[in-house]
Amino acid sequence: MHKERTKAVMVNYRVGIGLIHSQELRKASLPGFSTIEEHPKLPNGDKAAPLVPKFDRLVFMLVDALRSDFVFGENSDMNFVKKYVNVAWVHIFLNSHIYFISLIENHHAIPYTAIATAPTVTLPRIKALTTGSVPNFLDAILNIAESDTSSSLLSQDNWLVQIKKAGNKSISFFGDDTWIKLFPGVFNTTDGTTSFFATDTVEVDLNVTRNIKPQLSKPDWDVLIFHYLGLDHVGHSGGPHSPLMRPKQKEMDDVVKIIYDTILDQDTRRIQADKSAKPTLFILCGDHGMNEVGNHGGASIGEITTAFVFMSSKFNTVKHVHDKMSTNHDPPSFRYYKVVNQIDVVPTLSYLFGVPIPKNNLGKVILDLLVDTNEFEKLRAMQLNAHQLSGILQNTWISFDCNPNITLQSGKNCDQDADDVKTRLQCLYWLSYYYHAMALNSIDANYISNASFFYDKFISESSSYISSSFSDYDVGSMYWGLLFMGFASVCFVIVLVNQNSRRRKQIRNREKYNKLQFLSYLGTFGLCITMFSSSYIEEEHQFWYFWIQTMWFGFIIYSFRSSKFVHDQILALLSACQMILIRIIRIWNQTGQKYAGEIDLRFFLNTSHVYYMWILFFCSMLILTTMTLREILVTRLIQGKNILQIVLQLISVLIIIFIAFSITKYKLEIDGGSILFPDIFSWIIMIVPITLPVMLARMIYATIGTSLILISLLTILQSKLRNTQAPKITIFPKFSLYLITYLLILLSRPHNLSLYILFFIQYHLLSNWIHISITYGIEISPITFNFILICLKFVSFFAFGNSNSLATTDISNSYVGVTKYNPSWVGILTFLANWAGPIWWVFAGNLLRFEIVERRVFINHSEKNKSSSSDDEGNTINNSNSETSQINNTTSSAISAATIATKQELKRLQYHTSLFQIMTFHSLLLFIISIAVTILRSHLFIWTVFSPKYLYQIVWYILFLVGVEVIIGGIMWSIGLNVLMRE
């Protein structure tokens, strides 16, 4: 009956998640496409002249993760684009007058730092770059689904469709196949490459470059789009300071030179042959940047700053454009030259090619690029931009006037309406039209300046308002979702309270039971409160580091509860050691938002102390392998002389050694350790001769899986061969923990390997604390025990450098053993790599539960033996046969008592009971964050902070709780329980 109620509650909870999730990650968009007929007349009522394209052709080169300093920084190797290098002296000896000078220095390129918005992943950024709209956070999820077609832009206005319709121009694409999914049927020619095989940094770009010359040589091309992925893959593999980064920049610079030289030559010949021909516009840009680890997805300064370079011989006609821009730059902020918004490219391209601005655009025309236009043409460009935005505002406020009356008096002060957004924006729009009309009628410089000023303010403030509030929420569905989730969460809490009340009656010291448990309740309540604060969500790791230390300090206080002072000191010392370990773990990887860029141990291990990082790696592997072999050879498996058992034991030893050497070889080869330790690598090759890393990784997967099966069979065999010994139910969970550690090491970065050794130390300290506390009567409630495990899981998650930002999602190990992109396998590996710490503690927590059962059984067994011995001393046994019979009866009674005690402990510590407590915690937390995102759906940081946290909590609940805790943990518990019940 209890299980049926739990299932019913879970159904209600999942329905609520579905209703909330379907609404919380969506952004609204206007349907249809803009047309030339929708363009307004001039503000003075005159008919406007048709738009004249400034360029005939377009080359759009997008380099994934092209952070601004990769082009403009001092250490950039993109010399053709940005650096002045005087090599005239070289040509003196060659009798040549040719010298090299960069595009920017030669005024053939106009540079910008472009600011992107979260989520800074490819699919949302491509949508923003083509539609000018605010990205949809649901696209961050769809970004990993290669087969997904729901994110198509076929029915959403964008500049590709607009240019294609204008004169039936041809558009060809080469590179990241995300574009092909977004724009089905738009491209005349395509050659797509998968964007998710992040270990490929070479072929993925060569497959694009091979198309450049053949496509440029065609006489009838109009628009060419190239999307390069290699630089992004370099970042994911080794970060922005990877040895491969500068060579990749040089490769991209060479590509820019090939394209520019080709189109420059073609434009010269085309314009000479046809005076009406226009030059070609060449745009180099990035979709997002990257942080100092090489990841992206969040809103840190490195992730949102990208490079934009507009190149054309047309820009050489106005020499002062570059000089007007600020050449001062601030390296820590990655801001070089003039700063614009990334989406500003959309209305700019639309005007430069004489096509309507897409309906959902929120960008602003970059006037600096209108190099051969007069002030009235610039005002017309701003008018079209403002008119397009007014359509979005009218969709929000029906009464908003898109065609204002120019008879408005000029003295109106819009600042008086600062509290009313609609009235203020309407006022700015009216003033823009008024001064524009007056400028057209009187050709007065002041009117032109005022019109430009008010257009700029209206466009900027409208874009800011719309981007923060233009969401299509079905509030009714969200409230229904909260109702289902709230009902389920309340049921979870009520059942948990009832279970806890029944257990309290069995506890000997209720006062300390309550006080220890109070910290668990207080921690849960405090965490729920922090879900309503963007700053606390960004720095959630601070809460867990603080609260786990609070729990250990509480353990120190409550250690002094037994009648044995020496053991009190030992318990306090164990807790103090835990606090020291947490402090060491905390400095390993900086995370969060505020201190993410601070120097941490990871930085030193990956820069100036790489040698010592590999020394730590070797030592950690040696320690882990030694512990595993010790368990096989000494502690657990040598219980008898059965020949089959000895053979299985020998095979297990060989398997563990093979796994250890294989993982070491793989990490040395993939992560560069073979260069520092060539002798060790050569020696390991003789032991593990497999040369292909992919095959080696697959062999490791197969070996670990086989080992789990082998150990389970060996455990069952061992239990069948025992006679009167106490049940050893910890065999399978212990070896499962060791084997899963090897798997997680394979999927972790080398500098994080030592964290697993620290986790083992934490586990042993906690195991000894529980061992001593049970022996000497220091009770710990199941709720306190499970909350400690929850704290350790979250601490380990953040210890690996993770956070609530998509930027910390590490995909560098998502392709271990994968030869081609497969969403299922890559998704599983990504989850295992990023949740490695919490997964480790699931296995360690199961082992601790079995140890509690084993320890309590041992105590009950010992107490029964003492009782039996006491009874025997009171009787005089004269007959030896009678004495033997009495001993046998006593032994049988003790074993029976132990079995009964074991079953009682299993009933009290059933896995589904502990799991129910953990499920209650995660359900309550997800319910609270759902309330937060519903209430704060118009918050400034809803898309940069709350939505990512919501996504992470969904993963915690579905993949971690259900997939790992329930399914995998349940299987482990069932196997261990089966071993015990065979006694």
Question: Containing domain of residue 128, as a range?
Answer: 55-354
**Distance of alpha carbon 201 from alpha carbon 670, whole angstroms:** 13
Residues near 184 by Cβ (< 8 Å), separated by ≥ 6? 149, 152, 154
Burial 648-660 (b: 16+ CB within 10 A, else e): bbeebeebbebbb
- Are residues 349 and 486 both part of a single domain? no
Residue 104 near residue 81, CB atoms below 8 Å: yes
pLDDT (average), residues 646-672: 87
Residue 974 near residue 982, CB atoms below 8 Å: no
pLDDT (average), residues 640-657: 75
In this prediction, residue 600 carries a pLDDT of: 81
- Total number of domains in the chain: 2
Summarised one tens digit per residue, pLDDT across range 931-940 is: 888 888 777 7
For residue 583, what are the CA distances in angstroms to 371, 549, 580?
58, 9, 5
In this prediction, residue 810 carries a pLDDT of: 83
pLDDT (average), residues 952-979: 84
CB atoms within 10 A of CB 51: 20
pLDDT (average), residues 619-646: 76
Residue 622 near residue 835, CB atoms below 8 Å: no
- 46 belongs to a structural domain: no
Q: How confident is the model at residue 64 (pLDDT cuts 50, 70, 90)?
A: very high
Residue 848 near residue 767, CB atoms below 8 Å: yes
In this prediction, residue 96 carries a pLDDT of: 43
In this prediction, residue 510 carries a pLDDT of: 46
Residue 144 near residue 124, CB atoms below 8 Å: no
Q: How many CA atoms lie less than 13 Å away from 519 in the CB half-sphere?
A: 25
Which has more pLDDT, 483 or 877?
A: 483
Most confident of 166-170, 669-673, 829-833: 829-833
> pTM of the full predicted structure?
0.80
The amino acid present at 166, given as its one-letter code, is A
Q: For the ranges 434-443, 695-704, 756-765, 819-828, which has the lowest average pLDDT?
A: 819-828
Summarised one tens digit per residue, pLDDT across range 350-361 is: 999 999 999 989
**Distance of alpha carbon 809 from alpha carbon 828, whole angstroms:** 13
Where does a domain end: 306, 323, 354? 354
- 365 belongs to a structural domain: no
Q: How confident is the model at residue 3 (pLDDT cuts 50, 70, 90)?
A: very low
- Are residues 146 and 283 both part of a single domain? yes
**Distance of alpha carbon 68 from alpha carbon 49, whole angstroms:** 38
Summarised one tens digit per residue, pLDDT across range 400-412 is: 888 777 665 555 6
Q: For the ranges 421-435, 613-627, 715-729, 962-976, which has the lowest average pLDDT?
A: 715-729
Length of the chain: 983
In this prediction, residue 385 carries a pLDDT of: 93
CA angle 142, 148, 151 (to 5 degrees): 65
pLDDT (average), residues 837-866: 79
Summarised one tens digit per residue, pLDDT across range 103-134 is: 787 777 889 999 998 788 888 899 899 999 87
Summarised one tens digit per residue, pLDDT across range 538-556 is: 899 999 999 999 999 888 8
Residue 916 near residue 495, CB atoms below 8 Å: yes
- 381 belongs to a structural domain: no
Strand order in the sheet with 171-176: 189-193, 171-176, 223-228, 57-63, 280-285, 305-311, 109-115, 338-341
- Percentage of the chain beyond pLDDT 70 is 76
At 692, phi and psi to the nearest 5? Answer: -80, 120
- Are residues 485 and 633 both part of a single domain? yes
Task: Please name the residue that has the structure tokens 């139910």.
Answer: 729
Q: How confident is the model at residue 978 (pLDDT cuts 50, 70, 90)?
A: low
- Percentage of the chain beyond pLDDT 90 is 27
Question: Does position 643 have pLDDT exceeding 80, yes or no?
Answer: no
**Distance of alpha carbon 381 from alpha carbon 367, whole angstroms:** 8
Summarised one tens digit per residue, pLDDT across range 303-326 is: 889 999 999 888 875 554 444 444
- Are residues 760 and 899 both part of a single domain? yes
In this prediction, residue 348 carries a pLDDT of: 94
CATH number at residue 337: 3.40.720.10
Where does a domain end: 304, 320, 354? 354
- DSSP, collapsed to helix, strand or coil, labels residue 636 as coil
Question: Does position 612 have pLDDT exceeding 60, yes or no?
Answer: yes
**Distance of alpha carbon 688 from alpha carbon 604, whole angstroms:** 31
Which has more pLDDT, 196 or 727?
A: 196
By C-alpha distance, which of 138, 158, 135 is closest to 148? Answer: 138
Where does a domain end: 312, 328, 354? 354
- Rounded (10°) CA dihedral 138, 948, 125, 75: -160
Mean pLDDT of the chain: 79
- Are residues 344 and 493 both part of a single domain? no
Question: Does position 154 have pLDDT exceeding 70, yes or no?
Answer: yes
- 417 belongs to a structural domain: no
In this prediction, residue 897 carries a pLDDT of: 42
Q: How confident is the model at residue 583 (pLDDT cuts 50, 70, 90)?
A: very high
For the chain, the straight-line distance linking the first and the last C-alpha, in angstroms and rounded, comes to 29
Quick one: CA dihedral 312, 316, 317, 319, positive or negative? positive
At 364, phi and psi to the nearest 5? Answer: -125, 135
Residues near 497 by Cβ (< 8 Å), separated by ≥ 6? none
In this prediction, residue 59 carries a pLDDT of: 95
Q: For the ranges 1-5, 442-446, 726-730, which has the lowest average pLDDT?
A: 1-5
In this prediction, residue 807 carries a pLDDT of: 79
Q: How confident is the model at residue 427 (pLDDT cuts 50, 70, 90)?
A: confident
**Distance of alpha carbon 264 from alpha carbon 631, whole angstroms:** 71
In this prediction, residue 381 carries a pLDDT of: 92
Residue 297 near residue 118, CB atoms below 8 Å: yes
- 634 belongs to a structural domain: yes
Largest CA distance in the chain: 132
In this prediction, residue 2 carries a pLDDT of: 46
- DSSP, collapsed to helix, strand or coil, labels residue 497 as helix
Question: Does position 164 have pLDDT exceeding 80, yes or no?
Answer: yes
- 104 belongs to a structural domain: yes
SS3 assignment for 550-583: HHHHHHHHHHCCCCCHHHHHHHHHHHHHHHHHHH
Residue 225 near residue 175, CB atoms below 8 Å: yes
- 16 belongs to a structural domain: no
Most confident of 9-13, 424-428, 557-561, 970-974: 424-428
Residues near 638 by Cβ (< 8 Å), separated by ≥ 6? 649
SS3 assignment for 303-360: HHEEEEEEECHHHHHCCHHHHHCCCCCEHHHCECCEEEEHHHHHHHHHHHCCCCCCCC
Q: For the ranges 193-207, 272-286, 907-921, which has the lowest average pLDDT?
A: 907-921
Summarised one tens digit per residue, pLDDT across range 457-503 is: 999 998 888 877 655 566 667 777 777 777 777 777 777 777 666 66
* Contacts made by residues 390-398, CB under 8 angstroms, sequence distance 24+: 390/429, 390/462, 391/30, 391/359, 392/30, 392/359, 392/360, 392/362, 392/462, 392/466, 392/470, 393/422, 393/425, 393/462, 393/466, 395/30, 396/466, 396/469, 396/470, 397/422
Which has more pLDDT, 696 or 276?
A: 696
The amino acid present at 583, given as its one-letter code, is R
- DSSP, collapsed to helix, strand or coil, labels residue 2 as helix
Q: 193 pairs with which residues across the strands? A: 176
In this prediction, residue 632 carries a pLDDT of: 79
CA 895 to chain centre: 52
pLDDT (average), residues 711-716: 68
Question: Does position 197 have pLDDT exceeding 80, yes or no?
Answer: no
The amino acid present at 794, given as its one-letter code, is F
Q: For the ranges 357-361, 715-719, 805-809, which has the lowest average pLDDT?
A: 715-719
Tokens representing 960 are 């971690």
**Distance of alpha carbon 235 from alpha carbon 212, whole angstroms:** 24
**Distance of alpha carbon 785 from alpha carbon 6, whole angstroms:** 22
**Distance of alpha carbon 506 from alpha carbon 495, whole angstroms:** 18
- 383 belongs to a structural domain: no
Which has more pLDDT, 119 or 188?
A: 188
In this prediction, residue 584 carries a pLDDT of: 94
For strand 338-341 and strand 171-176, is the pairing parallel, antiparallel, or unpaired? unpaired
**Distance of alpha carbon 836 from alpha carbon 759, whole angstroms:** 12
Question: Does position 594 have pLDDT exceeding 70, yes or no?
Answer: yes
Quick one: CA dihedral 638, 643, 648, 651, positive or negative? positive
